[in-house]
């Protein structure tokens, strides 16, 4: 489960780069019940925060990187962004955005893993991260699709200290690797990774990609809202034993995410 104590290696923030900020704000408001709070508009900046029940759940900004696809960026908490940057480089990753301070809020950096999967880290200052997780309308899981699970485990294990436990998916669906931050018990697992053939990773041109899983009260209702507001569904809704009812969705700009109604305990 994801919590807001943000132990090292755990997800702590996420934001969306969108070509049309107002359209994205309206879409996620309709699908997840989020309220958008603008932080202002300028020639080189347009964006703000999403809130659920008054608590910050994500960020939103205008997509400015030339040739980049609209996608969610997931940030993992680290005690030292500069040390993590050195670890990324030593493990064969690429620094996309060098460590930089965001006023007193914290220090961030963005990377690509050796196969091209993009992720980020956050060294907290006054801002530790999102304020609501593991509740309807908030982040409940993170997931990596990659063409090489073994290489991904080696890289992220060395950079973020994660440990992995494998489970076989029903019906011969392959192996799914569960991710837990270093030193924490299994109930603190926060994500998973799954090996997929490069030809099935069309959203990122065959490269790996991370996406968020958002908890919802009703998966089918969320899917209906996705479709009614210009999004689409790649898979589902379907029931996953021991997990819940889920669907893999795309927003109108083709940023991918999952909606999940967790199975009742």
Residues 128-156: tens digit of each pLDDT: 999 999 999 999 999 999 999 999 999 99
30 contacts 225 by C-beta, under 8 angstroms: yes
Mean pLDDT of 22-34: 97
Q: How far apart are the first and last CA of the chain?
A: 14
Domain of 225, CATH number, reads 3.10.180.10
The total number of structural domains in the chain stands at: 1
Cα separation, 189 vs 169, whole angstroms: 17
pLDDT at 247: 97
Residue 71 CA, chain-centre distance (Å), reads: 9
- Determine the Cα–Cα distance for residues 179 and 99; give it in Å rounded to an integer: 25
pLDDT per position as a tens digit, 189-208: 999 999 999 998 999 999 99
Query: The pTM is what?
Result: 0.95
The parent domain of residue 225 ranges over 1-265
**Which residue matches tokens 């999952």?**
258
């Amino acid at each position: 489960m994801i919590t807001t104590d943000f132990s090292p290696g755990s997800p702590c923030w996420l934001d969306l780069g969108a070509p049309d900020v107002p359209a994205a704000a309206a879409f996620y408001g309709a699908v997840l019940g989020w309220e958008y709070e603008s932080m202002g508009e300028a020639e080189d900046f347009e964006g703000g925060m999403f809130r659920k029940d008054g608590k910050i759940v994500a960020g939103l900004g205008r997509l400015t990187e030339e040739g980049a696809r609209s996608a969610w960026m997931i940030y993992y908490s680290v005690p030292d962004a500069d040390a993590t940057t050195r670890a990324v480089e030593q493990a064969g990753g690429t620094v996309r955005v060098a460590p930089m301070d965001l006023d007193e809020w914290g220090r961030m950096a963005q990377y690509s893993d050796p196969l091209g999967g993009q992720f980020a880290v956050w060294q907290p200052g006054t801002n530790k991260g999102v304020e609501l997780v593991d509740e309807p309308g908030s982040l409940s899981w993170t997931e990596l699709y990659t063409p090489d699970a073994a290489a991904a485990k080696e890289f992220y294990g060395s950079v973020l200290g994660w440990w992995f436990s494998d489970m076989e998916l029903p019906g011969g669906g392959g192996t799914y690797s569960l991710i837990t931050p270093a030193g924490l018990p299994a109930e603190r697992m926060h994500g998973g990774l799954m090996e997929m053939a490069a030809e099935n990773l069309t959203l990122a041109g065959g490269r790996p990609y991370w996406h968020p899983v958002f908890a919802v009260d009703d998966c089918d209702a969320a899917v209906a809202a996705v479709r009614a507001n210009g999004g689409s569904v790649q898979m589902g809704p379907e029931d996953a034993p021991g997990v819940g009812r889920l669907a893999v969705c795309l927003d109108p700009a083709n940023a991918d995410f999952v909606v999940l109604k967790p199975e009742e305990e």
